[in-house]
Amino acid sequence: MMVLVLNCGSSSLKYQLLNMETEQMLATGLVQRIGMEDAGFEYKVPGGKEIKEVTSILDHTAGIKKTLAALTHPEYGVVKSMDEIAAVGHRVVHGGEAFTSSVLITDEVKSTLRALFDLAPLHNPPNLTGILAAEAALPGKPQVGVFDTAFHQTMPRTSFLYALPYAMYKRHKVRRYGFHGTSHRYVSERLAANLGKSLDGLKVITCHMGNGSSVAAILNGKSFDTSMGFTPLEGLIMGTRSGDVDPGALFYIMQREELTVQELNSMLNKHAGMKGISGISSDARQIEEEMEKGEARAKETFDMMEYRLRKYIGAYAAAMNGVDAIIFTGGIGENSNLLRGAVCRNLSYLGVELDEEINNTRSKKERTISTPSSKVQIWVIPTNEELVIARDTVAVVNGGSR
């Protein structure tokens, strides 16, 4: 069964085609600057053909049609015809309280998604645009929605309620939702598979560290708490997002700088985080490079990011009354031995013992980087959100649920 996985933004579309018999990724790519005459189209077959083209792609449907033409191309395509594609899986950012698992897209689901636009105004409208475009480009094929928030719907009320007037929750559904759910779920399930046991009885902390970052406390395989909140702005220091800030400081800044709500929003989401503190870059690798050259602000940025993560790990170990395993994933979590090393060396109070040599060895594989005697196992597990979406799509299309 071939599954096309789509992740649609307002002017972009990322795709992967997966053969779900083998769980192999057959082709991947992205369309950028949708709506423009000079849109970018990229297509890549692992170990094979790579295309980069600048062309006019005026809407998401045109982007999907262009993708399908490449996938079925007689010379460099990976399937003979569109008929071979059995279903489409969509990454949907916000499922609110309505979606606790992945679902088959129906008219009712689409209207619920519309009702959720206010909760994720930047993400959900393009996600729905992508669904409608895929329906137009691949008529009759089942479409499945996989939500970033769904995995975290198991959080207890003590974790997800904010101490605001209760009416704010009742009236406006303001609460912690959490994001990166497919990633936290995937890496925790991979841990269980590696250990050869169930997640029942296990206390796991998953650290998804990328351009956007979040930590989750996973108790008995269920999300118990997570650092992102009502929006993906709360929690850790990210590439351009501030993470936690005293709300009082924001009122003060708004007054002093005479900022509108939109301007403050833009400051917190696009000009803060590593970029804002360092004044150098939002990119962790670049921050590390500058730090190693002796750049003081870069070092401070790295230290702040590491410290915030370590505080959350400590908080979640306390929240679950212990921790059996800590997992690092995402671009930074998978690749930065410096970050993992700095965090783990400061967790000796939990009985964490890092194997420095393994931590410093580059690898793309799932691996444990703690010593055999470490009380808490430390793992690096590359995430694969597309695979989760494709697996859920197969499960939902076959009548199951995820």
Catalytic residues: 148
Q: Does 284 contact ligand AMP by CB under 6 A? A: yes
User: Rounded to a whole number, what is the largest CA-CA distance in the chain?
Assistant: 61
Kindly state the smallest distance separating residue 86's Cβ from ligand AMP, in Å: 28
Q: Does 211 contact ligand AMP by CB under 6 A? A: yes
118-147 residues in contact with ligand AMP (CB under 6 A) are none
> Residue 231 or 335: which CB sits closer to ligand AMP?
335
Pick the binder of ligand AMP from 42, 189, 283, 353 (CB under 6 A). Answer: 283
Residue range at the interface with ligand AMP (CB under 6 A); choices 42-50, 58-66, 278-286, 364-372: 278-286
Per DSSP, the residues of 219-272 read ETTEEEEES--SSTTSSS--SS---S--HHHHHHHHHHHT--HHHHHHHHHHS-
> Residue 288 or 386: which CB sits closer to ligand AMP?
288
Q: Does 232 contact ligand AMP by CB under 6 A? A: no
CB 67 within 8 A of CB 30: no
Task: Name the residue type at position 26.
Answer: L
Q: Does 27 contact ligand AMP by CB under 6 A? A: no
Q: Which of 272, 228, 232, 235 is nearest to 250 (CA)?
A: 272
Q: Does 290 contact ligand AMP by CB under 6 A? A: no
Q: Which of 9, 366, 1, 3 is nearest to 212 (CA)?
A: 9
Q: Which of 4, 13, 6, 20 is nearest to 34 (CA)?
A: 13
Q: Does 269 contact ligand AMP by CB under 6 A? A: no
CA 292 – CA 286 distance, rounded (Å): 10
65-124 residues in contact with ligand AMP (CB under 6 A) are none
Kindly state the smallest distance separating residue 211's Cβ from ligand AMP, in Å: 4
Q: Does 34 contact ligand AMP by CB under 6 A? A: no
HEC sequence for 194-216: HHCCCCCCCEEEEEEECCCEEEE
Q: Which of 51, 16, 146 is nearest to 90 (CA)?
A: 146
Question: How many Cβ atoms from other residues are within 10 Å of residue 293's Cβ?
Answer: 9
CA 61 – CA 39 distance, rounded (Å): 13
Q: Does 210 contact ligand AMP by CB under 6 A? A: yes
Pick the binder of ligand AMP from 52, 172, 197, 285 (CB under 6 A). Answer: 285
Pick the binder of ligand AMP from 126, 181, 330, 382 (CB under 6 A). Answer: 330
Q: Does 266 contact ligand AMP by CB under 6 A? A: no
Kindly state the smallest distance separating residue 300's Cβ from ligand AMP, in Å: 17
CA 51 – CA 44 distance, rounded (Å): 6
Pick the binder of ligand AMP from 225, 234, 288, 306 (CB under 6 A). Answer: 288
Pick the binder of ligand AMP from 63, 96, 239, 382 (CB under 6 A). Answer: 239
> Residue 11 or 211: which CB sits closer to ligand AMP?
211
CA 26 – CA 29 distance, rounded (Å): 11
Q: What is the DSSP letter of 29?
A: E
Total residues contacting ligand AMP by CB under 6 A comes to 12
Kindly state the smallest distance separating residue 84's Cβ from ligand AMP, in Å: 30
CA 17 – CA 82 distance, rounded (Å): 11
Question: How many Cβ atoms from other residues are within 10 Å of residue 36's Cβ?
Answer: 14
CA 164 – CA 286 distance, rounded (Å): 39
Kindly state the smallest distance separating residue 289's Cβ from ligand AMP, in Å: 9
> Residue 30 or 332: which CB sits closer to ligand AMP?
332
Pick the binder of ligand AMP from 89, 130, 243, 331 (CB under 6 A). Answer: 331
CB 14 within 8 A of CB 30: yes
> Residue 144 or 338: which CB sits closer to ligand AMP?
338
Pick the binder of ligand AMP from 27, 332, 347, 369 (CB under 6 A). Answer: 332
Kindly state the smallest distance separating residue 333's Cβ from ligand AMP, in Å: 8
Q: Does 311 contact ligand AMP by CB under 6 A? A: no
> Residue 109 or 298: which CB sits closer to ligand AMP?
298
Q: What is the dihedral sign for C-alpha 55, 13, 118, 214?
A: negative
> Residue 234 or 288: which CB sits closer to ligand AMP?
288
CA 318 – CA 217 distance, rounded (Å): 10
Q: Please give the residue ranges that form the binding site for ligand AMP (CB under 6 A).
A: 210-211, 239, 283-285, 288, 330-332, 335-336
